[in-house]
C-alpha cells in the first residue's frame, strides 16, 4: 500500500491533478496573441493594453496574462510606450 502510493507520487511529479492540492485546479493558459491572429498589439490603444495592467498600473506577470515570453515582451514594450505618451499611467494611487 505504501509502495503504491509512493509510486503514484513519482509518476505524477510534474503534472498532476490530485497530488498537490495547491495546483489542483490550475489550467494551462493560452497566449491570446498567439491564439488570435487578428489581435494586433498597439501602444496607441490604451483600452486594449488595460487588460495587461493591474489597478495600480503595473504590468501583469506572465502567469496572470498567460502570454508566451515573446508576446509578453511585446506587451511590456507596448505598455511602456503607452506610458511614455501618457495614454497609460505609470502609477495610480
Nearer to Zn ion, 34 or 77 (CB): 34
Each residue of 44-65: b (16+ CB within 10 Å) or e? eebebbeebbeeeeebbebeeb
- Pull the grid cell for residue 13: 511529479
Looking at the DSSP bridge assignments, the partners of residue 59 are 53
Site for Zn ion in 51-90 (CB under 5 A): 68, 71
Selected from 6, 11, 34, 44, the binder of Zn ion by CB under 5 A is 34
Nearer to Zn ion, 16 or 36 (CB): 36
Name the residues that contact Zn ion, by CB under 5 A: 31, 33-34, 68, 71
Amino acid at each position: 500500500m505504501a509502495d503504491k502510493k509512493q509510486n503514484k507520487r513519482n509518476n505524477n511529479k510534474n503534472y498532476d491533478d490530485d497530488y498537490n492540492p495547491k495546483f489542483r485546479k490550475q489550467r494551462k493558459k493560452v497566449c491570446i496573441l498567439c491564439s488570435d491572429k487578428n489581435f494586433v498589439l498597439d501602444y496607441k490603444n490604451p483600452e486594449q493594453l488595460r487588460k495587461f495592467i493591474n489597478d495600480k498600473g503595473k504590468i501583469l506577470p506572465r502567469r496572470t496574462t498567460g502570454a508566451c515570453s515573446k508576446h509578453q515582451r511585446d506587451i511590456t514594450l507596448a505598455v511602456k510606450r503607452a506610458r511614455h505618451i501618457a495614454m497609460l499611467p505609470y502609477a495610480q494611487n
